[in-house]
Structure 1
Amino acid sequence: MQQEYQKYYVPAQSYWPIVGAIALFLIAVGAGNFVIESTRGEAGYGGNILTVGVVLLLVMLFGWFKDQINESMSGLYSDQLGQSYRQGMSWFIFSEVMFFAAFFGALFYARMIAIPWLGGSSNNAMTNEVLWPGFQAIWPLVETPGGVTTTSMGWMGLPAINTVILLVSSVTLHFAHVGLEQNKRKQLTAMLGITILLGCLFLFLQVEEYIHAYRDLGLTLQSGIYGNTFFLLTGFHGMHVTLGTIILMVLFLRVLKGHFSPESHFAFQAGSWYWHFVDVVWVMLFVFVYIL
């Protein structure tokens, strides 16, 4: 029996990848300069460059999504291309897993290896006396070698509330997916809208948490290894929540226009995968950064 092959659609050349690369470059340069200027109390162009990069990234996302949507709605995609999209999204999420694994690894190294070593463990008593006399190997490390002290961020309050918010958002997104598979458009629209609102609420409360950390706790990027790892992990996670919320907003607009069907909705499924991944990362972050 002769095997039947499907046509594989090859899209035309696009300028969106280079736009995205420029946007990410501006975000990296702007964010780096903004942090340096903030710590030194200087006025500069870091914030402006960062803003331009973020705006350009949003333009790229919406523009590229629009091209993809038009291609999909025109019937240009086949099952074979759908398998490629699934593989691509799976590898993308795997790369994100490795991304966060590197930062969790840095946290593990600082807590389990570097701090005990500085505290004189493993026959390193002389190291303790030479490098940091009187150092106590405890976590969180709220004092730097230069004498800067801070207060650790507890898990009660905003962190716990944000954890509940993200867990609930995973449930609402699941029921939105169920509504799509059962062709219940009202359930799909309502549950997806609630998920987006929960994502926005999470980001708002995280900003409030950062304000509380800087203003009330003295927890800043200058607070040594604890402050660095805290803002590195929570900040990058917040960036992923922002991206995930934007993706859900695009999906919501498509749902309002009548896109997706129970048989064909991988774009929705991919956005759901990403959101659930972000939620799982936060649970791990909540345990290892806030509680332990």
Structure 2
Amino acid sequence: MAHVSSKDQYYVPHDAKWPIFGSIGLFLTALGAAFMLNSELPGTPWVMYAGLAIIVFMLFAWFGEVIKESESNMYNAQVDTSFRMGMIWFIFSEVMFFSAFFGALYYAREFSVPWIGGEGVGVMTNAELWSGYEGVWPTNGPGDLNGAFEIIDPYHLPLINTLLLLASSVTVTIAHHAVRANNRKQTIIWLALTVLLGAVFLFYQVEEYVEAYSDLNLKLSSGIYGSTFFMLTGFHGMHVTLGAIMLAIILLRVIKGHFKPESHFGFEAVAWYWHFVDVVWLGLFIFVYIL
């Protein structure tokens, strides 16, 4: 691959084989998961595991090539702008993703549950089908699915996790400023602390789930409250996990001497993503735990 020195040249990569690997991996993962859930054929879980292994291999190999291209100075300002626009649209898609789930929570709380409880257009529904049901939140629904439950105390583990993520947003910002100041030692310290805070957050979220299942009888099967609670917090936890992995990879790259004050979009992209994860958690803390 030739070095691109002209500012007028837009680097176009060679034909990539990795998208077909990703497609095969996704297909095997979905096929294996479907068979595992709906079939008793032996060995079906391994189809899913093979698909996941192919996806992981593809990610390492493909991102490895991108890193080599970046460190070889093949990207000019136009390419950098393309990367930024791509990351902005990706984060926008994530905003829409969580908006759908917050919308489901809002609709259930403000419309569905009150209607079933007899408010407004739900008078006949309540009288004929669920007489005696009071549409108050939190609820496991008129069928009393999975029995009575207790909710998580928002001012215990959720508050601790909120403080952890807010602190991690500060540490990753300090690390970003250290990159721009070409202070690699400070970048490593603050970035490592960000990864640690993310890991501690995930540890406490696991503790919270264990408490919910073992002590509070709050489960995914606990009606509409259980499904919306675990849907929102679970998907957010998955995003924190991915963000922490990306931050750890960026940390390894910083240790290896990657990134310069004038060229470090890989770092910036992950920092943007991490800030997005923090903002989503603030919404969760308010609308899921407190209200």
Indicate whether the TM-score tops 0.5.
Answer: yes
In structure 2, the residue matched to 1:213 is: 212
Hey, what does 1:15 align to over in structure 2?
A: 17
% identity of equivalent residues: 53
Indicate the residue corresponding to 1:131 in structure 2.
129
**Structure 1 residues 95 and 147: CA distance shift in structure 2, 3 A:** closer
Verify the 8 A CA contact 1:142 1:151 in the aligned structure 2.
no
Residues 243 and 274 in structure 2, CA contact (< 8 A), matched pair in contact too: yes
Q: Which residue of 2 aligns with 1:166?
A: 165
Q: Which residue of 1 aligns with 2:8?
A: 6
| Conservation of the 8 A alpha-carbon contact between 1:173 and 1:195 | yes
How far residue 147 of structure 1 moved from its aligned partner, in angstroms, is: 4.8
User: Partner of 1:141 in structure 2?
Assistant: 139
- The match for 2:100 is 102
Distance 2:158 2:30 in 1: 27
Matched-pair contact (CA < 8 Å) for 1:30–1:45: no
Matched, 1:86 2:88: no
* Alignment match of 1:112 (pick from 107, 110, 113): 110
Task: Quote the offset at 1:220 in angstroms.
Answer: 1.5
Looking at structure 2, the residues matched to 43 and 215 of structure 1 have their Cα atoms a distance apart, in angstroms, of 32
Using the TM superposition, give the Cα deviation of residue 222 of structure 1 relative to its aligned residue in structure 2, in angstroms.
1.2
More displaced 10-residue stretch of structure 1: 17-26 or 153-162: 17-26
Provide closer, same or farther for how the CA distance between residues 32 and 167 of structure 1 changes in structure 2, counting only shifts above 3 A.
farther
Equivalent pair of 2:7/2:76 in contact (CA under 8 Å): no
Instruction: Tell me: CA distance 1:248–1:283, structure 2 relative to 1, closer, same or farther (3 Å).
Output: same
Q: Which consecutive unaligned segments of at least 5 residues does structure 1 have? A: none
Distance 1:290 1:126 in 2: 32
- Computed over aligned residues only, the root mean square deviation of the Cα atoms, in angstroms, reads 2.5
Distance 2:174 2:160 in 1: 21
Cα distance in 2, alignment partners of residues 145 and 5 from structure 1:
66
| Aligned residues between the structures | 285
Give the aligned residue type for 1:180. V
- Structure-2 change in CA distance of 1:46 and 1:234 (3 Å): farther
- Say if 1:163 and 1:92 are closer, same or farther in 2 by CA, change over 3 A: same
* Contact 1:34 1:44 (8 Å CA) reproduced: no
By how many angstroms is 1:242 displaced? 1.1
Q: 1:57 to 1:230 in 2, by over 3 A?
A: farther
Which segment is superposed worse, 198-207 or 142-151? 142-151
Opposite residue 15 of structure 1, the aligned amino acid is: K
| TM-score of the aligned structures, taking structure 2 as reference length | 0.89
TM-score, normalising length from structure 1? 0.89
Measured in 2, the distance between the counterparts of 1:85 and 1:111 equals 39
Q: Residue 242 and residue 57 in structure 1: after superposition, are their counterparts in 2 closer, same or farther (change >3 A)?
A: farther
Distance in structure 2 (CA, Å) of the matches to 1:20 and 1:228: 30
In structure 1, what is the equivalent of residue 191 of structure 2? 192
Displacement of 1:156: 2.3
Q: What do the CA deviations read for 1:39-94 (whole angstroms, capped 9, x no partner)?
A: xxx99878666655554443333222211100111121111111110100000000
Residue aligned with 1:217, SS: coil
2:263 corresponding residue in structure 1: 264
Long gaps (5+) in structure 2: 1-5
The alpha-carbon deviation at position 160 of structure 1 amounts to: 1.2
1:148 CA drift (Å): 2.7
2: CA distance, partners of 1:95 / 1:62: 23
C-alpha distance in structure 2 between counterparts of 1:261 and 1:189, whole Å? 14
